[in-house]
Structure 1
Amino acid sequence: MMDDDNRNIDQWRALWQQPEAAIEQLLTRQRALLAAKEAGGAAEWIHLATIPELQAQIDALKDSTPDDLPLYGVPYAVKDNIDVAGMPTTAACPEFAHTPTDDAFVVAKLRAAGAICLGKTNLDQFATGLNGTRTPYGIPVNPFNEDYVPGGSSSGSAVAVSLGAAAFSLGTDTAGSGRVPAGFNRLVGLKPTRGLISTSGVLPACRSLDCVSIFAHSIGDAERVLAVAGSFDPADPYGRPAPEQRPTLTGTPRLATFAPIEWFGDTIQQAAWQTWRDGLAAQGIELAEIDPTPFLALAPLLYGGPWVAERLAALETFAAEQPEAIHPVVRQIVLSGKNYSAVDTFKAEYQRMALVRQIHDALAPFDALVVPTSPTFPTVAAMLAEPIQRNSELGHYTNFVNLSDLSALAIPANPRSDGLPFGVTLIGKTWADSLLADIGRALTGETVSPDTPPKPLSKGEIAVAVVGAHLSGMPLNHQLTSRGGRLLQATTTAPSYRLYALANTTPPKPGLVFDPAGAAIIVEVWALPRPALADFLEEIPAPLGLGTLSLADGTEVTGFVCEPRALEGAAEVTSFGGWRAYIQSLKTAAGAKHV
C-alpha cells in the first residue's frame, strides 16, 4: 500500500511550492509503481507512464506556476477506456489495444489545467461489470481486504486513489461504475449529469448513457476536478451545456429513501445502513420513505433490454472477428445484444419514458434520494462463483440512474462492523450536481475549501461576504439559511484587512477593518435573495454594517465591515487568519483550565 502523504489536491499543490521536492517525490512514486507492476503486485494499473513520459509532462509545466493552473502538478489516473495520447487504450482486452494520437476531450482539459497523468487503470473489460473481476490483467486488490471485490468497472481508478498513488482519477459510469467502486474503497464518486463531461475519446459502453466520473478523497476535490473537466464539448453529440442557474442547498436538506430496501441477505451491509440512519436522525435529518417500484422497474432495462445492443454496437466488428478475445462473461452479455429488434427498442423506450415521468414526479418534493451505494459487498470467490447474479445485485440501486437522466454522488459513511467501508449515494435531478455536493457536505461535515470554485450567482440574488458568527456552523448562520441563503464560496479577503474580537458582544462578534498593511482573512460568500437582504440588514447591530470588501481574486463584494469606534477594548486576532480559528483557541484554552 502506498503511504498517505501528499495524496490529495491541496497537499500536492503545496508540495509544488518546492518544485524540486515535488518532482523527486513524483518520480520516486512512479518508479515504485513501475517496480510493483513489474513484480505483479499492482493489478490496478494496465499501463504506467514511463519515466520519460512523466518527465515530459513535468517539463510542460515549466513556463507556469501553481498560481496559474488549478491542478498544477497534481498526479491522477485514467481508466483504460479513455484515451491518453501516446498511451495504449486496451479497455482491458490486449487484442483490442491501440495507441491514440490525441487525448480524450476531458484528458486534454486536465492536461491544460496542469494535472499529470500517471497511467491507465484496470477495469472490467469493455466497462461491462460492477465488480472488478472481469479482466485478464489481474483483479485489483481491495485495499481494505484482499478477499473482497474492489468494485467495477472502474476498479483500478478507485484502488489507485484509495492507495494514495493518485490524488484523483477518472472512471466511467453507465450502470454504477463510478459509484460502486467508490463505496468499496471509501472514496467520493461523482457521477455527473449526462453530457456535463464530454465522452469524446471515450470507448462507448452504452453511448447514450455513458458518463465520465471522478474518484477523489473529498467532495471538494471532486468539485475542483469537475470545474475543469465539466466543459461543454460541441463535438460531442451527447454533450450538453450546463444551465446558468442550477439548484444549490438552502436550509436543511429534504431527503428521501426507499422502503423497503433489499439487502440480498447481506446483514452486515444492512446494519451499517441502520447505523448511518441513526446518526442522521441524531443530526435532526429525517429520511422520508418512498416507493421504489418505478425505479426498480426501470433498472432491468439496462442489462435485460435493448440497451445491451448499444454495447454490441460499440464492439460489433471486433466481436465478430475476435469473439474468443473477449472475457467469457462479457462476451455473453455483449452478444446478447443480437436478441433485440428495432421494435423491441422502441417498446423499451416507451416503457422507459413512462417510468422516468413517475421517477421525476416522485423526486420532485425532495432535494435528493439517498440509497446504500451497494446492498451487498461480496467476496471475490462469491463473485466468481455467481458472476451474473452477484453483479446484478451490486447494481440494484445504481442501474436506473442514467436511464432516468439523474445526477449522483457517492460518499463514504461509517465503516461496517467488520471494518470494510460502507457508503451511501445521493441521487438528484438533472443538473443537481452542485446541490448534491452541498448535501454531501452537510451530511459528512466536510467544510468548503477556499480553492473550491465559486458557484454562480443567480438572477434576483446578491452576494454577501461574512466573516464571523454568520459562517457555516456558527451561531448566527441561521440568519442566512432561514432567508434562503446559499453558500457560493469559501475564500479569503485580499491581504489588506485586520480582524478584531469586539468587546462585550454575545455571541462573540468580529470586527473587520481595512488596513493596507493587514493580512488575508477567511470569509464565506453567500447568495441572498434580494428581497431578503433588507430584512437581514435589520439584524445587523451597530457598530457593524455592510460595505465593500476586496477578495483574494481581486473581485469586490458586499460584506461585513466595522466602524473604527468599535475597536475600543477590542483584541486584535488577525494572526489567527479567521474567526473560526480564534473561537477554537478560546475553547481550547477553556478546556485546558478544567484539566
Structure 2
Amino acid sequence: MRTIQDYRSAYADGAATPSSAIADVYGRIAAYGDAAVFIALRPIEAALADARALEGQGPQGRPLYGIPVAVKDNIDVAGLPTTAGCADFAYTPEVDAIVVARLRAAGAIIIGKTNLDQFATGLVGVRSPYGVPRNTIDPALAPGGSSSGSGVAVAAGLVPVALGTDTAGSGRVPAGLNAIVGLKPSLGALPTTGVVPACRSLDCVSVFAHSVADAWELFSAMAGPDAADPYSRQTLSAPARPADAPLRVGVPDAASRRFGGDALSEAAFDAALSAARAAGAALVPIDLTPFYATAALLYDGPWVAERYAAIRPFIEAQPEALLPITHGIIAGATRFSAADAFAGLYRLAELKAATSPVWADIDTLMVPTFPRPRTLADLEADPLGPNAELGTYTNFVNLLDLCALAVPGPARTDGWPAGVTFIGPAGHDADIADIAGRLFGTPGAASLPAPSAHGAVAPIELVVVGAHLSGLALNHELTSRGGRLLRAGQTTSDYRLFALAGGPPHRPGLLRVAEGAGRPIETEVWALEPQAFASFVAAVPSPLSIGTVRLADGSRPKGFLVEVEATHDAADISHFGGWRSFCAAPPQAQA
C-alpha cells in the first residue's frame, strides 16, 4: 500500500485493519535495511495501541484513519527525542508539535522520526551523524536534504506520507531526487509550534507523498493558524482560477536556464515543457535574474544569522557538538552586523517589488526542481558547491513569500530523476496543486487534482476492463464526467473474463474466482470526483456492478465486476488477457 487511497480501500473491503497495516509498516522498515532513514522509531507496541484504539472508535470524523506517517526529527513528537540531527542537542518533548497533534486528531498514526541534515542546514542529505539514507533511484546519488529521511521513507514505500520542513528547498529537493511529490506551503499556512527553527521567519512544515492528492490531504488536515505561532496565518482556500480558464505557465527564459552543463537534465526539462504544452498550457518565458538575486541573500546575506539565532545558546556553549560543515555555515553569521541585516531587508524589499509583477502575466511558474542530480562522490570532492547548485531554483521561494509544489517530471534518458516544481504567490497553494495535478502525474493516484478546500474528499479510482477503456465505445462516459486516466495495469491472477451476451456495445464481464484459478486481465484505472463517480455508478446496468478489484500493483480500487449468473451463457475469453486483445482477434479466434 503506497497511497492514502490504497489504505482506505484495504480498510473498506476488510483486506487490512490499522493494526495489520502498522505491523506491515514495521516489517517493511526492517526488510528495507537502511538504518539511516529513521533516527528513532516508536515502539511497535505503542503504534499498535494507537491502531487498536482507532479500530474501537471507527473512521467517522477521522479523514486520515489508520494512515501511517513519518516525521522529520526537528518536529516534536511527544515521548520521542527531538535531535535535529545532533545527539547533544536532543530533548524529549512532552507534547506534540501542533501539526503532529492535528494529524493524530485526524486519525493518523505516527511511526517515528526521520533523519535530516543537521539543524536542517543543507540540501544534500549527507550532513548527519546518523548516516546517509540511500537514494531510492540510484544509491550513488545524494538523497537530498535537509529532509532526507522523510523523502526516502515515502519513496521507498515504507510510509505513504511524511512530514519534512523547508527553508531553502528541503521539502522539494529530496522529493525531486527520489521522484515523489513535495509540497512546500505558503509561509504560516502550517504552524511551526513545536518545530526546531532554522530561519524562523522563513520555515515551513512540508509534506512528502506519492500523489498531489495525498500531499494536499495531509496539508488540509494540518492547516490553520495557531495562537502560539505568531507567524501562522490563514491561507487555505479553493483554487482561485476557473478550471476552464486558459493556463499560463511561466518558464525560465533562455538566459535563465541553469543545468550545470548537464544535457540530459536539460533535455528532460524540455520534455516536461512539451508535456505541459500538449496539456494545453501556454508557456511564457520569464527572466529569473531577480529571483536568483533573491536566492543569493539566503546564505550569502544576513539571513544566515537567523540560523545562528535559532540555536545561539547551544552553538556558543557546545560548538564542538556540531558537524564541522554545519558549524562552519552557521558560525559564518557572526560576520554580519545589525546594519547588514537591515541592508538585507531593504534589498529584499527591492527584489519583491521587481518580481511581483510577474504574477500578473502567469498562473504559475514552472522550473526544474534542481539543475541536475548530484552524486555522493561529487559531495565528497566538494561539500559546498553541489549543495549550492541544488538550491538554484528553490532558495528564493520562501524569501519572496511564495508557495511551491515539486512533482516528478519526465525522467532523464539514463533513468536519473528530473523533477519539476510549480511556484505561486502566497495563498495560491490550491491553484498550484490543481495545476500540477492536471499537468503531471506520479505513481498511484498521481494525476488526481488536489482537493479544492479543507476537508474535501479525494477523487475515487475506478478500474475498467471493457468498452470504457480509452478510445473504445463507452469511454466518453468517463471523459464527459471529467475522468482522468491514471495508469494501465493488470488484475491479480484471481479473475476470469467473459464476453457477455447482448449489445451493441458488446461488453465483457470480470468475475473473481478462487485464488490463482484465473489469470491477470488488462485494466485501466481512471479517477472521478466523488459526485461524478456517484452518477456513473448509478447508470451501471445489471448484470454488471461496482466492487473492489485486486490489482497486481497491490492497490484495490473500485471497478467493474459481473454477477456470476450472467457468465453461464457467456464465452470465457480469459486466455486473451484483456478486452482489447479479444476485440482485435479475428472472428474465428473469438468463437
> What is the TM-score normalised by the length of structure 2?
0.77
2:37 maps to which of 31, 40, 44: 44
SS at match of 1:189: strand
1:123 deviates by: 0.4
Deviates more, 1:207-216 or 1:244-253: 244-253
Partner of 1:174: 167
Partner of 1:127: 120
2:281 maps to which of 267, 281, 285: 285
Following the alignment from structure 1 to structure 2, what is the Cα–Cα distance between the partners of residues 60 and 581? 31
Q: Judging changes above 3 Å, is the alpha-carbon distance between structure 1 residues 470 and 255 closer, same or farther for their aligned structure 2 residues?
A: farther
Following the alignment from structure 1 to structure 2, what is the Cα–Cα distance between the partners of residues 228 and 395? 29
1:362 deviates by: 1.4
Q: How well do the aligned residues superpose, as a CA RMSD in angstroms?
A: 3.3
1:426 aligns to 2:431 (yes or no): no
Partner of 2:104: 111
Report runs of 4+ in structure 1 exceeding 6 Å deviation.
446-452, 468-473, 570-574
8 Å CA contact retained: 1:247, 1:431? no
Following the alignment from structure 1 to structure 2, what is the Cα–Cα distance between the partners of residues 325 and 476? 59
Following the alignment from structure 2 to structure 1, what is the Cα–Cα distance between the partners of residues 80 and 333? 30
The aligned amino acid for 1:147 is A
Following the alignment from structure 2 to structure 1, what is the Cα–Cα distance between the partners of residues 21 and 529? 34
Partner of 2:227: 234
* Matched ranges for 1:433-452 at <5 A: 433-444=429-440
The aligned amino acid for 1:319 is I
1:384 deviates by: 2.3
Deviates more, 1:168-177 or 1:445-454: 445-454
Deviations 1:12-41 (A, max 9, x none): 22333448754234224315535866xxx3
Partner of 2:368: 372
1:229 deviates by: 1.0
Partner of 1:346: 342
Following the alignment from structure 1 to structure 2, what is the Cα–Cα distance between the partners of residues 350 and 276? 36
Partner of 1:253: 247
2:410 maps to which of 406, 411, 414: 414
1:226 deviates by: 1.0
Partner of 1:7: 2
SS at match of 2:311: helix
1:374 deviates by: 0.3
1:397 aligns to 2:390 (yes or no): no
1:279 deviates by: 2.9
Following the alignment from structure 1 to structure 2, what is the Cα–Cα distance between the partners of residues 302 and 472? 51
The aligned amino acid for 1:8 is T
Following the alignment from structure 2 to structure 1, what is the Cα–Cα distance between the partners of residues 48 and 579? 49
2:92 maps to which of 71, 75, 99: 99
1:62 deviates by: 3.7
1:288 deviates by: 1.2
Following the alignment from structure 1 to structure 2, what is the Cα–Cα distance between the partners of residues 589 and 59? 43
Partner of 1:215: 208
1:24 aligns to 2:20 (yes or no): yes
Q: Judging changes above 3 Å, is the alpha-carbon distance between structure 1 residues 54 and 267 closer, same or farther for their aligned structure 2 residues?
A: same
Q: Judging changes above 3 Å, is the alpha-carbon distance between structure 1 residues 185 and 194 closer, same or farther for their aligned structure 2 residues?
A: same
Deviates more, 1:299-308 or 1:442-451: 442-451
Partner of 2:61: 68
Following the alignment from structure 1 to structure 2, what is the Cα–Cα distance between the partners of residues 212 and 440? 20
Q: Tell me how many residue pairs correspond in the alignment.
A: 496
1:438 deviates by: 1.1
1:263 deviates by: 1.1
Q: Judging changes above 3 Å, is the alpha-carbon distance between structure 1 residues 169 and 248 closer, same or farther for their aligned structure 2 residues?
A: farther
For structure 2, which runs of at least 5 residues remain unmatched after alignment?
456-467, 469-473, 484-502, 506-526, 548-557, 561-577, 586-591
2:545 maps to which of 575, 579, 586: 575
Deviates more, 1:271-280 or 1:168-177: 271-280
Following the alignment from structure 2 to structure 1, what is the Cα–Cα distance between the partners of residues 406 and 451? 20
Following the alignment from structure 1 to structure 2, what is the Cα–Cα distance between the partners of residues 165 and 525? 28
8 Å CA contact retained: 2:434, 2:450? no
The aligned amino acid for 2:279 is Q
Percent identity, aligned pairs only, is 44
1:80 aligns to 2:73 (yes or no): yes
2:453 maps to which of 441, 455, 466: 455
Deviations 1:449-493 (A, max 9, x none): 999645389xxxxxxxxxx99999835869xxxxxxxxxxxxxxx
Following the alignment from structure 1 to structure 2, what is the Cα–Cα distance between the partners of residues 60 and 209? 37
SS at match of 1:60: helix
The aligned amino acid for 1:26 is I
1:594 maps to which of 574, 584, 587: 584
The aligned amino acid for 1:257 is V
1:250 deviates by: 2.6
Following the alignment from structure 2 to structure 1, what is the Cα–Cα distance between the partners of residues 124 and 413? 22
Following the alignment from structure 2 to structure 1, what is the Cα–Cα distance between the partners of residues 449 and 174? 26
Following the alignment from structure 1 to structure 2, what is the Cα–Cα distance between the partners of residues 389 and 117? 36
Partner of 1:311: 307
Partner of 2:138: 145
SS at match of 2:479: coil
8 Å CA contact retained: 1:86, 1:99? yes
Following the alignment from structure 2 to structure 1, what is the Cα–Cα distance between the partners of residues 49 and 156? 25
The aligned amino acid for 1:266 is D
For structure 1, which runs of at least 5 residues remain unmatched after alignment?
1-5, 458-467, 479-502, 506-521, 527-548, 553-558, 583-587
Q: Judging changes above 3 Å, is the alpha-carbon distance between structure 1 residues 294 and 71 closer, same or farther for their aligned structure 2 residues?
A: same
8 Å CA contact retained: 1:219, 1:437? yes
Deviates more, 1:397-406 or 1:447-456: 447-456
The aligned amino acid for 2:436 is G
Q: Judging changes above 3 Å, is the alpha-carbon distance between structure 1 residues 350 and 450 closer, same or farther for their aligned structure 2 residues?
A: closer
8 Å CA contact retained: 2:189, 2:236? no
8 Å CA contact retained: 2:180, 2:408? yes
Q: Judging changes above 3 Å, is the alpha-carbon distance between structure 1 residues 348 and 216 closer, same or farther for their aligned structure 2 residues?
A: same
2:381 maps to which of 372, 378, 385: 385
Q: Judging changes above 3 Å, is the alpha-carbon distance between structure 1 residues 162 and 258 closer, same or farther for their aligned structure 2 residues?
A: same
Deviates more, 1:348-357 or 1:46-55: 46-55
8 Å CA contact retained: 1:132, 1:149? yes
Q: Judging changes above 3 Å, is the alpha-carbon distance between structure 1 residues 472 and 317 closer, same or farther for their aligned structure 2 residues?
A: farther
1:474 maps to which of 466, 475, 479: 479
The aligned amino acid for 1:242 is T
8 Å CA contact retained: 2:69, 2:159? yes
Deviations 1:76-127 (A, max 9, x none): 1000000000001001101111110010000000011111111000000000
1:504 deviates by: 12
The aligned amino acid for 1:593 is C
* Matched ranges for 1:495-510 at <5 A: none
SS at match of 1:408: strand
SS at match of 2:197: coil
1:65 deviates by: 1.3
Deviations 1:176-212 (A, max 9, x none): 0000000011111000011110100000000000000
8 Å CA contact retained: 2:41, 2:112? yes
Q: Judging changes above 3 Å, is the alpha-carbon distance between structure 1 residues 358 and 162 closer, same or farther for their aligned structure 2 residues?
A: same
SS at match of 2:40: strand
Q: Judging changes above 3 Å, is the alpha-carbon distance between structure 1 residues 340 and 128 closer, same or farther for their aligned structure 2 residues?
A: same
1:304 deviates by: 0.8
Following the alignment from structure 1 to structure 2, what is the Cα–Cα distance between the partners of residues 59 and 572? 39
Following the alignment from structure 1 to structure 2, what is the Cα–Cα distance between the partners of residues 451 and 15? 22
8 Å CA contact retained: 1:246, 1:431? no
> What is the TM-score normalised by the length of structure 1?
0.76
Q: Judging changes above 3 Å, is the alpha-carbon distance between structure 1 residues 33 and 313 closer, same or farther for their aligned structure 2 residues?
A: same
1:248 deviates by: 4.0
1:298 aligns to 2:294 (yes or no): yes
1:418 deviates by: 1.4
1:206 maps to which of 199, 207, 215: 199
Q: Judging changes above 3 Å, is the alpha-carbon distance between structure 1 residues 23 and 347 closer, same or farther for their aligned structure 2 residues?
A: same
Following the alignment from structure 1 to structure 2, what is the Cα–Cα distance between the partners of residues 453 and 136? 39
Following the alignment from structure 2 to structure 1, what is the Cα–Cα distance between the partners of residues 208 and 581? 39
Following the alignment from structure 2 to structure 1, what is the Cα–Cα distance between the partners of residues 20 and 115? 26
8 Å CA contact retained: 1:471, 1:524? no
8 Å CA contact retained: 1:31, 1:51? no
Q: Judging changes above 3 Å, is the alpha-carbon distance between structure 1 residues 472 and 409 closer, same or farther for their aligned structure 2 residues?
A: farther
